[in-house]
């Protein structure tokens, strides 16, 4: 089938575009053609990317992409199906083709931007006949707020590239990691306190934080031995580093957005054979998970993480890490997510 994907997300710019890249490549791998229209650039991918100009002004980025795409409607005439991200779903009324709404997350901005985005999100789902979400909690949320029938929504969680993210040799002091957006509202400022807590108990440990965001400078200014904070690094370098780390951290607090998520970093932690410590809410839970996933209340996240890590010796940690990789191999390959999306397209 000939598939066109219209997106306002900047392709290749950060971790958040990985899902789109993997899904589009997966569809091509299953014999479909995919033309992807978005800002950004594509390097080494199987699909055809058509760059779209985007405004640099927050609040106008999605509308600027929609405006550019509305001038290119003739390019979509031969498509069998069109995938459209919710921020630009107003384009659906301009095309005479089957359309699937792609919702990787409800509006995550705060303040005035949130007030502008939620009506657009509601309207997109009100107009959609079929849509894709990232989790069962996300599907329930869409149903509760928009009354969109659950049967018309497919659940496409974040997966992991099991060839890129590997379980490497891990030894020595405990090495913890957080990677992705390094924003204050993601709870990242609590992470150095876990490192300090372990060190206070006489446990050798280090904490590595990789990503861009408004908390990077604050974290870099903390003079704590064993704390490494870098800006965002390329995905292949992230994978190489994760293979040597021990513990992946999920500090994102319980709120309307994080509760619905299928965190890409969680899948990449598991693919790399890490155990995970995080805050307990629906977005972080995994049904039938093993002891390699430890979730605690927000108030106890720091103390309980320190206590649990303190209770581990290297032998037990290694055993749990092997189990986490095994779970990823069985459940988290991108092929599972691609199969769900393909099923939606073919139906």
Q: What is the mean pLDDT of residues 153-165?
A: 93
Q: What pLDDT digit, counting tens, does each position of 204-237 carry?
A: 999 999 999 999 999 999 989 999 999 999 889 9
**Torsion angles phi and psi, residue 66, rounded to 5:** -60, -40
- Return the higher-pLDDT residue of 287 and 203: 203
The pLDDT assigned to 261 comes to: 79
The pLDDT assigned to 30 comes to: 96
Confidence of residue 110 (pLDDT cuts 50, 70, 90): low
**Is the predicted pLDDT of residue 16 greater than 90, yes or no?**
no
The pLDDT assigned to 14 comes to: 56
Confidence of residue 347 (pLDDT cuts 50, 70, 90): confident
Q: What pLDDT digit, counting tens, does each position of 302-318 carry?
A: 999 999 999 999 999 99
Burial code of 39-58, b = ≥16 C-beta within 10 A, e = fewer?
bbebeebebebbebebeeee
For the chain, the average pLDDT equals 93
Would you give the distance in Å from CA 208 to the centre of its chain? 19
Q: What is the dihedral of CA 104, 284, 249, 275, to 10 degrees?
A: -120
Would you give the distance in Å from CA 176 to the centre of its chain? 19
**Is the predicted pLDDT of residue 296 greater than 80, yes or no?**
yes
Q: What pLDDT digit, counting tens, does each position of 181-191 carry?
A: 999 999 999 99
Is 335 in contact with 26 (CB distance < 8 Å)? yes
Q: Which pTM does this prediction carry? A: 0.88
């Amino acid at each position: 089938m000939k598939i066109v994907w219209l997106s306002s997300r900047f392709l290749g710019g950060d971790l958040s575009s990985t899902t789109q890249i993997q899904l589009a490549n997966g569809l091509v791998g299953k014999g479909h053609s995919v033309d992807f229209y978005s800002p950004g650039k594509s390097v080494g991918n199987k699909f055809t990317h058509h760059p779209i100009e985007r405004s640099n002004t927050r609040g106008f980025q999605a509308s600027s992409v929609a405006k550019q795409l509305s001038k290119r409607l003739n390019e979509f005439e031969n498509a069998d199906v069109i995938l459209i991200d919710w921020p630009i779903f107003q384009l659906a009324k301009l095309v005479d083709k089957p359309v699937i709404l792609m919702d990787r997350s409800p509006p995550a901005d705060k303040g005035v931007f949130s007030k502008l985005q939620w009506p657009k999100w509601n309207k997109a789902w009100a107009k959609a006949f079929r849509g894709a979400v990232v989790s069962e909690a996300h599907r329930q949320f869409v149903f509760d707020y928009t009354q969109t029938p659950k049967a018309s929504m497919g659940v496409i969680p974040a997966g992991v590239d099991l060839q890129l993210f590997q379980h490497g040799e891990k030894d020595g002091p405990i090495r913890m990691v957080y990677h992705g957006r390094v924003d204050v509202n993601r709870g990242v400022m609590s992470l150095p306190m876990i490192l300090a807590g372990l060190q206070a108990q006489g446990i050798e440990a280090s904490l590595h934080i990789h990503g861009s965001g408004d908390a990077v400078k604050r974290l870099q200014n903390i003079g704590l031995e064993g704390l490494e904070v870098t800006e965002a690094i390329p995905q292949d370098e992230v994978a190489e580093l994760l293979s040597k780390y021990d513990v992946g951290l999920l500090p994102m607090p319980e709120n309307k957005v994080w509760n619905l998520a299928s965190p890409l970093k969680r899948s990449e932690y598991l693919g790399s054979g890490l155990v995970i410590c995080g805050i307990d809410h629906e977005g972080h839970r995994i049904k039938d998970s093993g002891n390699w996933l430890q979730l605690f209340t927000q108030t106890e996240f720091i103390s309980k993480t320190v206590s649990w890590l303190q209770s581990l010796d290297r032998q037990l940690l290694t055993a749990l890490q092997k189990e986490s990789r095994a779970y990823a191999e069985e459940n988290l390959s991108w092929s599972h997510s691609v199969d769900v999306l393909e099923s939606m397209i073919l139906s």
